[in-house]
Amino acid sequence: MAALSVQPLWTLSISGTETQPTVLALVRRLRQANTLRTMAYYVGIDVGTGSARAAVIDDQGRWKGHCVQPIQTHHPSPTIYEQSSEDIWTKISQAVRTAVSLAGVTPHDIKGIGFDATCSLVVLDQSSSPQSVDQASGFTDHPWNVILWADHRAIDQADRINQTHHSVLQYVGGTISPEMQIPKTLWLKENLPRERWDAIGHLMDLPDYLTWRATDHLARSTCSLTCKFSHLPRGVSTTEGGWDRGYFDLIGLGCLVDENWRRLGGRPGHEDDVLHAGDCVGNGLTEQAAMDLGLLPGTPVGSAVIDAYAGAVATLGASATKLDHDAMSNRLAIICGTSSCHIAMSPQPLFVPGVWGPYHSVLLPNMWCAEGGQSSTGQLIDYTLKSHTAYQDALELATKKNITIYTFLDDHLTTLKQKQGLAAIDFLTEKLHIYPDFHGNRSPLADPTLRGAIVGLTLDHGIDDLALRYLATLQSIACQTRHIVDIMNQHGYTIDTLCLSGGLCKNKVFVQLHADVTQCKVILPEEIEGAVVIGAAILGAKAAAGNTSLWQVMRQLTRAGEEVLPRTDPAIQTLYDKRYRVFGELLKDQKKYVDIMAP
C-alpha cells in the first residue's frame, strides 16, 4: 500500500570523491527510484438504485477511469420495486471491463476489488438460481428476484414487528423499517405459496450476494447482517449466533430459528464467517467471476458494505488534518442520491430514537454507527420539476443554452432576486413552504405513513413558479437534515461537520443550504459523484493490504475537496431559523389532520 521509501542522497560519488549533490542529480536519482515502484490499482463497484458503476483508483486514491451501466427496475405499482440479480451482474461485468480499459491498466495491475450496493433483498432457490418475488406473475417470473430497498410492500409486517416492542428493536432506533430485510422476509413467508417459500435457499442482502457471486464464498458482512437482518454482533448479543431466538419466534419467523438461520447465512458457533468491512472474502475471484469481469482469478475481494457506508468510507476520513477515529462523533457523512443516508460514528453506543442503530463494528471494528436517512431527496427534486407544467419549457431553454436544468433554475432564481431587489435568492420563498416526506419518513420519525405537503401555492404555473418550488424543495430537504442532526446531538453526538457526497452535491445551492440551515461546515470529496464507488475500491485495497486496518487505508486513499461554511449574514440565519420552525409546524399539522380524519 505505501509508496516505496527512497532514502535521501546527501552525497554523490563523482570521480571517487564525495561532493554535495546537484538538484539535477537528485531529481534524476529520484526518478530512477520511482520507476522501480509498481503502481497498484483497485476496482470499486457500486450498485445504486438505477445503475451499476465501476471505477479504478490508484494507490493514492486518484480516480483513473469509470463506467456506468443502467440496471432494470420492475415497478408495477406505487409500493413495488423489483430488480434482477442476473441483470445487475451482467451490468457490473460490462462496467468493470470498460472502466479498466479506460484507466489504461491491465488485469495484472488490479490488486483488489470491493463492492457496495443498495440494501435490497436477493432471493435464490436451493440451487442458487434466481427465485421470483413478483406477486403479479404468481411468483413465476424468476428474473425478478430482488426486492429493491425502496419497495414498501412490507409496511404491515414492519408495523406488527414494531408492536412487539422487543429489545432487539433498540438497535434500529426503536422502530424497524419496511425497507429492512426482516419485514420483507416475513412478507415473503406470508405471501409465497408454501412450496415456493420452502424452495428458498438463500435470502441475501445485495452487497453480500455480489461478494458471493465473485468468490463463491457465503461469508456474510457485519454491515448487511447487523443493519438489515436484525443480527447482533459478538459483544452485543448473548444469544448463540447473534440472532435472538425469542425475537424470531415472536414475529412469526420461528421457522428460521428451527433451521439455525441457514437461509440468512447463519452458522451458529461460526461467528468468524461474519466479516468486517474490507476483510478478504474466500480466496478472491473465482475463475468464472474473473472471466466475467475481465480480471485475474484470485484477485482479493473485500467484504462489502451497504452503499451509504461506502460513501462514509470515502468521506469520513478525508481532511487536511489527521483525525483519530475515536474522535469522530462530530462528523456526519451524508450520501445524497435518490434518497439520502446519514452515517455517524462513535466509540460508544449512542441510542437515538428514530435513527437506525447503534450498529456495532459495521464500518470500523469496535466503533458504533448510527444511520439516519431521508427516503426521497433526489427523487423528490425530480418529482417537483417533472410534475410541473413549466418543466418542458424550462428544459428546452436549458438545452438551448447547453446547461443543466438545475443551472438554468439557479440562474433564473438569481434573475428573480435582482428583479425583486432582494439580498439573496433565499428570501424568494418566504411564503412558500414544503414538507418533504412524499415517500414517508425514514429519520428521525421512522414513520413510512407520513406524506408531503406544500403551503403557499398561487395560480402561477410558469417558470417563475417552477424555480420557486425547486428552491423550496431544496430548503425543505436541508431543514430535514437539520432535524436529524438536532435529534442526534440531543442524544450524545456533537455533529458540526457534514461530509457530503453524491450527485446532488454538484448543485452549489443544495450544498450551501445544508451549511446555512444546519450551521455546520460542509466538506466535499475531491470526486463528488465518485465518492461511493471510491469507497468500494478502498474495501478492495483493504483486502489486498492484509493486516493493515481499514482506518489506515481510508486515511491514505480518501481525498478531501472543497469546504463550504455557513454564511455569516444574520438575516440569512434568522430566515432559516424561521423556516425550520415552519417545518416543525407542518409536521404537527399533518399529525393533527390524521387524528381528525381517523375513524
**Across the beta sheet with 560-564, what order do the strands follow?**
356-360, 368-374, 340-346, 331-336, 497-501, 521-525, 560-564
Q: Do 30 and 153 fall into the same domain?
A: no
- State which H helix or E strand residue 380 sits in: helix 378-386
Nearest to 506 by CA among 561, 452, 458, 552: 561
Residue 281 within any structural domain of the chain: yes
- Cα angle, residue 91 at apex, residues 383 and 58 outer, rounded to 5°: 100
Residue 138 shares a structural domain with residue 239: yes
User: What is the pLDDT, as a whole number, of residue 141?
Assistant: 94
Q: Which three cell numbers stand for residue 165?
A: 416492542
Grid coordinates in use for 350?
449512542
Q: What is the pLDDT of residue 16?
A: 39
CATH number at residue 73: 3.30.420.40
Q: Are residues 219 and 289 in the same domain?
A: yes
Q: Are residues 11 and 78 in the same domain?
A: no
Contact 115, 536 (CB under 8 A): yes
Contact 111, 544 (CB under 8 A): yes
Bond before 349 cis per omega within 30 degrees: no
497 vs 271: CA distance, rounded Å: 35
Closest residue by Cα to residue 129 from 236, 14, 209: 209
One domain, residues 185 and 289? yes
The verdict on residue 186 lying in a domain is yes
Q: Is 52 part of a structural domain of the chain?
A: yes
- Tell whether 161 and 256 lie within a shared domain: yes
CA distance 345 to 365: 11
Q: 366 exposed, middle or buried (CB, 10 Å; 0-12, 13-18, 19+)?
A: exposed
Residues with Cβ < 8 Å from 21, sequence gap 6 or more?
9, 10, 11, 12
* Helix, strand, coil shares, percent, the chain, to 5: 45, 20, 35
Is 538 inside a domain boundary? no
Instruction: Evaluate whether 116 touches 149 at the Cβ level (below 8 Å).
Output: no
Q: Same structural domain for residues 274 and 409?
A: no
pLDDT for the residue 558: 87
State the cell numbers at 360. 456495532
Cβ(115)–Cβ(45) under 8 Å? yes
- Answer with the one of 245, 271, 293 that is the final residue of a domain: 293
69/30 same-domain check:
no
Q: Are residues 147 and 288 in the same domain?
A: yes
Please list, in sequence order, all residues whose beta carbon lies within 8 angstroms of the beta carbon of residue 85, skipping any fewer than 6 positions away.
122, 124, 130, 145, 146, 206, 209, 213
Q: What is the DSSP letter of 109?
A: G
C-alpha to C-alpha distance for 92 and 58, rounded to whole angstroms:
20
pTM beyond cutoff 0.95? no
**Cell of residue 338, nine digits:** 435518490
Q: How many structural domains comprise the chain?
A: 3
Contacts of 254 (CB under 8 A, 6+ apart): 248
Nearest to 81 by CA among 45, 115, 119: 119
Render each residue's pLDDT in the chain as its tens digit; 599 residues.
443 233 332 233 333 344 444 555 554 554 544 444 578 999 999 999 999 999 999 999 999 999 999 999 999 998 999 999 999 999 999 999 999 999 999 999 999 999 999 999 999 999 999 999 999 999 999 999 999 999 999 999 999 999 999 999 999 888 999 999 999 999 999 999 999 999 999 999 999 999 999 999 999 999 999 999 999 866 565 545 488 999 999 999 999 999 989 999 986 555 557 899 999 999 999 999 999 999 999 999 999 999 999 999 999 877 645 556 556 779 999 999 888 999 999 999 999 999 999 999 999 998 999 999 998 999 999 999 999 999 999 999 999 999 999 999 999 999 999 999 999 999 999 999 999 999 999 899 989 899 999 999 999 999 999 999 999 999 999 999 999 999 999 999 999 999 999 889 999 999 999 999 999 999 999 888 889 999 999 999 999 998 899 999 998 898 888 999 999 999 999 999 999 999 999 999 999 999 999 99
Last residue of a domain, one of 244, 264, 293: 293
CATH code for the domain of 404: 1.20.58.2240
What do you get for the CA distance between the two ends of the chain, in Å? 64
* pLDDT value at residue 71: 98
Given a contact cutoff of 8 angstroms between Cβ atoms, the answer to whether 209 and 306 are in contact is: no
Same domain, 24 and 156: no
Question: Do residue 125 and residue 31 come from a single domain?
Answer: no
pLDDT at 323: 53
Residue 437 lies in a domain: yes
Count the residues in the chain. 599
Distance in angstroms (rounded) separating the CA atoms of residues 531 and 536: 9
Q: Which domain holds residue 279?
A: 41-293
Give me the pLDDT at residue 128, please: 97
Half-sphere exposure (Cβ direction) of 567: Cα atoms closer than 13 Å: 18
